[in-house]
Amino acid sequence: MTTSTNDLSAYWMPFTANRQFKAAPRLVAGAKDMTYRMADGREILDGTSGLWCVNAGHCREEITRAIAAQAARLDYATAFQMGHGAVFDLASRLAALAPGDLDHVFFVNSGSEAVDTALKIALAYHQARGDSRRVRLIGRERGYHGVNFGGMAVGGIGNNRKQFGPGLGTVDHLIHTHDLGHNAFSRGQPAWGAHLADDLLRLIALHDASTIAAVIVEPMAGSTGVLVPPMGYLERLREICDAHGILLIFDEVITGYGRLGAPFAADRFAVVPDLMTTAKGLTNAAVPMGAVFARAHVHDALMTGPENVIELFHGYTYSGHPLACAAALATLDIYARDNLFARARELEPYFEDAVHRLDDAPGVIDVRNIGLAAGIEFKTEGGVGARAYKVFLKCLELGVLTRQAGDVIAISPPLIVSREEIDRLVDTIAEAAAATA
């Protein structure tokens, strides 16, 4: 089967320089396990799990069978005042997998929707407790929390906001944790930087804790180039939030479902948030789906008043979609059967040693890693992102897909990656760095 490329004009591509792409399109025709097959027949090693999401590898037969069977049995059921068995089964499976008392799950369709849902739950929680002054939300510089208006507002990447205005007005931001002077070429969590969490105290002094509803951070900031939390940083945020009645939200859209060698980053760092957003690896990206986890005290605060009254006026047409539930249940089965979370943790030392072979590659000013994720940062040359984009293109020419984020090449291979494929991924980046120097 061939793919027609006669007219590319109708499709307005997301996060893409459309005119540049359509002048020299890169079209994917198929995928299996660790490999994409391009429309021109070339095979490309997937070093990014699609977009941080295909954690179990591409086109897993168990997932495709589950989706097909569900589509034949029940294609859709409204989530408003109705339900179906699979959505309750999935919520129970996820609650059992989550750390602490993150026992309640609200289903959405993407990471962006998960973030906006968590922010709304946080605001509703304080209102339900009679604390209606708490309307301020705190994000972090360089944070990425999707592209809906709430997530855009608490996010801290300028390009994602400059065309649209600030979004929400009651938002402020913590300083980010990226400091090459102290942490360049760290392996795993940097030793320096726990004190940066105390910037929250500055915002509390500025705005007063009684006005702050929640703080949202990515435990590991992925989209901005793999920023690993300093030792003690997340623990300190948890401590400050507890002391001042502020909810802590972890955005685990990228880190959830094994990326850091544990079910969630909350497990890896032993810090339990009040709310946790997930998506991507939940269904192995086979069907769009997200899930917001809430601790018991957050959920229970809203389960008050007359039983016939809707507790949270929020939801989506496709919340808990039957096909997405089937994909997620099959994905969880694969994770458990193949011990993929533990496998990622076992591979981490090999992956770490491999990526740090790039410490001396031409133009590289930092390599950082945790779990099966790494960021290779290049010196800015010819404008922000120009050098890294050349490396991205050269890697693709050499048969490896990476992700460019500003001056960073990020890699996050599926959890099924082999040692040989890790070596190929790293060696290709080294070759591309040399070729574009």
pLDDT 10s per residue in the chain (437 long)? 444 556 999 999 999 999 999 999 999 999 999 999 999 999 999 999 999 999 999 999 999 999 999 999 999 999 999 999 999 999 999 999 999 999 999 999 999 999 999 999 999 999 999 999 999 999 999 999 999 999 999 999 989 988 998 788 899 999 999 999 999 999 999 999 999 999 999 999 999 999 999 999 999 999 999 999 999 999 999 999 999 999 999 999 999 999 999 999 999 999 999 999 999 999 999 999 999 999 999 999 999 989 999 999 999 999 999 999 999 999 999 999 999 999 999 999 999 999 999 999 999 999 999 999 999 999 999 999 999 999 999 999 999 999 999 999 999 999 999 999 999 999 999 999 999 99
Cβ count near 290 (within 10 Å) = 28
- Closest among 233, 222, 277 to 102, alpha carbons compared: 277
Q: Which residues pair with 30 in a beta bridge?
A: 37
Q: How far apart are alpha carbons 391 and 393 in whole angstroms?
A: 5
Secondary structure of the chain in the HEC alphabet?
CCCCCCCCCCCCCCCCCHHHHHHCCCCEEEEEECEEEECCCCEEEECCHHHHCCCCCECCHHHHHHHHHHHHHCCCCCCCCCCCHHHHHHHHHHHHHCCCCCCEEEEECCHHHHHHHHHHHHHHHHHHCCCCCCCEEEEECCCCCCCCHHHHHHCCCHHHCCCCCCCCCCEEEECCCCCHHHHCCCCCCCCCCHHHHHHHHHHHHHHCHHHEEEEEECCCECCCCCECCCCCHHHHHHHHHHHHCCEEEEECCCCCCCCCCCCCHHHHHCCCCCEEEECHHHCCCCCCCEEEEECHHHHHHHCCCCCCCCCCCCCCCCCCCHHHHHHHHHHHHHHHHCCHHHHHHHHHHHHHHHHHHHCCCCCEEEEEEECCEEEEEECCCCCCCHHHHHHHHHHHHCCEECEEECCEEEECCCCCCCHHHHHHHHHHHHHHHHHCC
pTM: 0.97
Q: How far apart are alpha carbons 103 and 93 in whole angstroms?
A: 10
Q: Which amino acid is at 8?
A: L
Q: How far apart are alpha carbons 423 and 420 in whole angstroms?
A: 5
User: What's the residue count for the chain?
Assistant: 437
Is residue 372 within 8 A of residue 417, CB to CB? The reply is yes
What residue ranges define each of the domains in the chain, with the CATH number in brackets? 18-56+339-435 (3.90.1150.10), 65-337 (3.40.640.10)
Sequence-distant (≥ 6) Cβ neighbours of residue 136 within 8 angstroms? 170, 171, 172, 207, 211, 212, 213
